[in-house]
Structure 1
Amino acid sequence: MSDGSDLILARMMSLHPKIIDLTLDRVWRLLDALGHPERDLPPVIHIAGTNGKGSTQAMIRAGLEAAGDKVHAYTSPHLARFHERIRLAGELISEDHLTDILEECETANGGIPITYFEITTCAALLAFARTEADWTLLEVGLGGRLDATNVVDAPRLTIITPVSVDHQQYLGETLPEIAGEKAGILKRGVPCVVGPQEEATLDVIEAKAAKLGAPLLVHGQHWHAFEERGRLIFQDENGLLDLPLPNLPGPHQIDNAGAALAALRHLGASGAACEAAVTKAHWPARMQRLAHGPLVDAAGTCELWLDGGHNPAGGLAVAATLARMPQKPTHLILGMLNTKDIAGYLRPVAARAQSLTAVSIPGEANTLSAEETQAAAAKAGIAAGTAESVLAAVRAIAEKDPGARILICGSLYLAGGVLKENG
């Protein structure tokens, strides 16, 4: 049974030949036709960066909601259902509401070329403008400067999480070029929280901020976040917080928590709200332990984990997280898109994996074949085979090495399929 929104979303996919075409002209045209909903949003926090955007957003939302605020949140891509992208005052958008706003945007657009992300972003802004809330959290889809979310003149705050090399075909080949695109979300006079960055990236962000008179709150200068004796210590000019470690696993989440806490403290959040940010955030497919479902049943006595990281920084995060976990043989089930740097992803994880089973990503035209992935893994020095499906791979590993750790990884699209399949 297909939802009404699925049919409209399928039609929207065909309105423009390219999936990604970075310019804001089409977005401005449609927002104009819709009566400019982007001007009527609750205060906006706009988040760009290569890695950690979603986790940082999830922590900020957990903190604001713990303080009793109602929060809109926009994120992409979705994992199992499109509705995950649009959270209205704390709740995922309903099927009827989604169908209505998609139809309204489709009618207002009048069949003129527009990309899927652009028209669905306009739909989200329309829903946000019409629903009462205290905050709007907008996550950039790609880049920043020309991203469809970059239409709010005066957000309350912007955030740039760590920038690394990804999507070079759209954003530029070098870190400074990519940083320039991300820094495109900076606005005149609007403060920006900056997560840990390489020097070349920070130089670009600081130069852009100076031009716009945008005050920066920079990791390592204005705030610090680190682990000490199994606690998260956060320090800024307002003093020190001694908090539990983030409930989202992995050492990289310390930095994401730091950016979220810097944002919350800037907005005047209480200590309780800050604690909730790190203990109550929910963000699936980021080193998520699967607890039930057919795949967990197939895994038997094996632990089953899922992660959607898909670039070299994502590989580093996975490797660092595995290094901190109790020692256990770890077997990867990997599927990746052919637009990603698979060698860069595998380099850090190779030392942590006993074996790798390559799969292709079902329903994705841009998937690497299982054979291509297997060859890349072998080149990285990992014992590698292939399987017809994730389920077949899980069964084979569970039979061969009961009690081991299985990690399904390499793509948010693969992770979304897994969460759907696993119920």
Structure 2
Amino acid sequence: MTLHPKGFDLTLERIRKLLSRLGDPQDRLPPVIHVAGTNGKGSATAFCRSMLEAAGLGVHVHTSPHLVSWHERYRIASKPGPGQLVDDDLFADAIERVAEANGGQPITVFEILTAVMFLLFSEQPADVAIVEVGLGGRFDATNILSDPAVSLIMPIALDHQAFLGDRVELIAAEKAGIIKPGCPVVVGAQSEDAARETIVSAADRLGSPLSVYGQDFQAFEEHGRLVYQDETGLLDLPLPALNGRHQIANAAAAIRTIRAAEFACPPEAIEKGLQTVSWPGRMQRLSSGRIVDAALPGAEVWVDGGHNPGAAVVVSETLAELEERFSRPLFLIAGMINTKDPLGYFRVFEDMVRHVYAIPVSGSEAGIDPVALADDAARAGLTAQPAIDVYQALDLMAEDWKKLDVPPRILICGSLYLVGEILAENGTPPQ
């Protein structure tokens, strides 16, 4: 298909020409928080949005990929109250205008969608726009932004190596490509020193004011509360509504980002934002729906779209915390695509998981065959078997493990595409 030559085609020339024909809408946005990173950028985006909206600001939000509907990529500011997913008429009109401006020239789908975002966000009123990078940073279509209020770079790990490089410092250099001369930069918690040093070096080279987690700001849990600290002092806050200890560092990065951009967001808004934040498909418990009804009676059903070993680590840590509070046997229902590292992903769960059911990812042509995925899980030291879909996996679980003393904890995981399918099938799509 010549109109969309590749799923990813990393260059800024096409998007620059297209936006020029649209009147350069990227130059007419409200102040922008530009967010990159391998893991945690969606959570940080959600925290920023929740806190800023709690402060009464109108916030546009761009995220990718979507889980169920293309509309999820565009949340349009609404005052008073939280932003809403773009409505059909506004979305259709923007797509039509972008397609007309493109005039049939070769372009990727993500470039079209990014141009739609810039058009929508430039024409609808807002106080802030949060723009999440799609892939990498330096050559991502969103990086046409020239003067962000702040650039936030979340944890870097190995992912998309074919496009970004096979060493963490190479990937960090691509992510650091969103840093602009003189514009503030916030660096979230980095597990790899090489990643942090690469980002810091890039910011120093461009004269960009820098805030680094663990050095200029930090957060920790104390007596069931979140304590945030920077040079201005301490904030005593509630723990985030998002599950997992890693969300403490993600929340801290969001707080520092809001402060670095000098948005008006008092402590009470930060507190409310932590309590009301929502980020579907990331360690999300499903409390009702068709898939929940099909599970063993009393089972907990969770979904998580993390798909690389780094994401698996934080998921496993979250599950370990749940295990401490209430012990349940853990089962995985997993589907992955062939650009990921299934062996590295499954190895993280060794000694934690009772059994793995491998299922297809029907929403992607790159889905790994369940037989091959079950073999990967077995090579990682887990017992595993394939199933044709999530319902067969649940039926097999009910048959093979009906004598469990305690109802199981089931994690459906390995791919955002899979999680999107599950949320749609369950009848609980993102709102």
**RMSD, aligned α-carbons:** 1.1
Kindly report which structure 2 residues correspond to 1:273-292, keeping only aligned pairs within 5 A, or say none.
273-292=269-288
* Residue from 100, 104, 108 that aligns with 1:107: 100
CA distance in 1, matches of 2:89, 2:135: 28
2:219 and 2:228 in contact (8 A); partners too? yes
Opposite residue 356 of structure 2, the aligned amino acid is L
Which of 33, 36, 58 does residue 70 from structure 1 map onto?
Answer: 58
138, 142, 145: which one aligns with 1:149: 142
Give TM-score, length-normalised by structure 1. 0.95
Q: Which residue does 1:342 correspond to in 2?
A: 342
Contact 1:318–1:349 (CA under 8 A) maintained in structure 2: no
Equivalent position of 2:38 in the other structure: 50
Matched residue SS, 1:227: strand
Matches within 5 A, 1:210-229: 210-229=204-223
Q: Distance in 1 between matches of 2:339 and 2:164?
A: 13
- Find the counterpart in structure 2 of residue 244 from structure 1: 238
Q: Which residue is equivalent to 1:3?
A: none
Q: What's the secondary structure of 2:91's corresponding residue?
A: helix
Amino acid at match of 1:86: Y
Aligned positions of 1:19-418 closer than 5 A: 19-89=7-77, 90-197=83-190, 198-266=192-260, 267=262, 268-299=264-295, 300-325=297-322, 326-399=326-399, 400-401=401-402, 403-418=407-422
In structure 1, the gaps of 5 or more residues are 1-12
Deviations 1:46-100 (A, max 9, x none): 0000000011000000000001100000000000000000011011000111111
In structure 1, give the amino acid aligned to 2:367.
T
| Aligned equivalents of 2:394, 2:249: Cα separation in 1 | 32
Identity %: 50
Q: Which residue type is aligned with residue 273 of structure 2?
A: A
Deviations 1:164-193 (A, max 9, x none): 110010011111111110000001111111
Which secondary structure state, in structure 1, belongs to the residue aligned with residue 126 of structure 2?
coil
Which amino acid is the alignment partner of residue 407 of structure 1? L
Q: 1:363 and 1:184 mapped to 2: Cα distance?
A: 31
How far apart are the structure 1 equivalents of 2:258 and 2:147?
18
Q: Which runs of 5+ in 2 are unaligned?
A: 78-82
Secondary structure at the aligned position of 2:145 is classed as coil
Q: Does the CA contact (< 8 Å) of 2:363 and 2:421 recur in 1?
A: no
User: Which is worse superposed, 268-277 or 237-246?
Assistant: 268-277
Q: Distance in 1 between matches of 2:396 and 2:372?
A: 20
Report which stretch shifted further, 303-312 or 224-233: 224-233
| Alpha-carbon displacement from aligned partner over 1:375-405 (angstroms, at most 9, x marks no partner) | 0111111111111101221233244246111
Runs of 4+ in 1 over 4 A off after TM superposition: none
Q: TM-score, normalised by structure 2?
A: 0.94
**Deviation of residue 14 (structure 1)?**
6.2
1:59/1:280 contact within 8 Å kept: no
